[in-house]
Amino acid sequence: MAEHRTMQRGALLDAARSLLSEGGTEALTFPALAERTGLARSSVYEYFRSRAAVVEELCAVDFPVWAAEVESAMERAGTPEEKIEAYVRRQLDLVGDRRHRAVVAISASELDAGAREKIRAAHGGLITMIVEALGDLGHDEPRLAAMLLQGSVDAAVRRIELSVAEEPAVIADTAVAMVLNGVRGIRDDQG
């Protein structure tokens, strides 16, 4: 029985990922989850008491996976500049991944405190790594620079998701060039 419940829960999370990546948080409703999984709506409530609870669980499951991908790309890089490039590129590579799209949809939405906390914890490790790389480059304000850098990544993610204009590779190359020129420029100004 417990195994069956685990499978149902997994199916609901998978359906939630699909709904989020297709239509953002508005698409994530209990009737839609019931329809996707073939469960009765009342059964969905047995697993999750609210939409926020679904989002919170997805954050707990998917964010660490996504963060670990970015982290391992950074660990393979050598210089601080290469680490920064890996940080940007890996996040943009993951845009096509359904889990990542769900994560982006969640990040962009109004979240309750529990979900926000889980996202912050998962992002915290990544931001720490990028802060270190920026510190190694000699930044006076590495935390501020890290936040601004992430803002550029988020803008590039949104641009890729529009999928109307440039190729994802062009967007990634442009984002990397802007970020690297930006971090070098700040260092030169401070130096």
pLDDT exceeds cutoff 90 at 170: yes
Average pLDDT of the residues in 82-110: 80
Q: Which two tokens stand for residue 156?
A: 């590039």
Per-residue pLDDT at 179:
92
The residue written with tokens 């939630």 in the block is 16
Per-residue pLDDT at 6:
81
CA atoms 108, 112, 116, 118: torsion sign: negative
Average pLDDT of the residues in 140-155: 88
pLDDT exceeds cutoff 70 at 108: no
Q: Tally the residues of the chain.
A: 191
With contact defined as beta carbons under 8 Å apart, do 67 and 120 qualify? no
Looking at the chain, the whole-number percentage of residues with pLDDT higher than 90 is 33
Higher pLDDT, 62 or 120: 62
User: Under the phi-then-psi rule, with left for phi > 0, alpha for psi from -120 to 50, and beta for the rest, what region is 24?
Assistant: left
The values of phi and psi at residue 101, to 5°, are -60, -40
Q: Which two tokens stand for residue 110?
A: 């109004």
User: What pTM, to 2 d.p., does this model score?
Assistant: 0.76
Helix and strand element counts for the chain (H, E): 9, 0
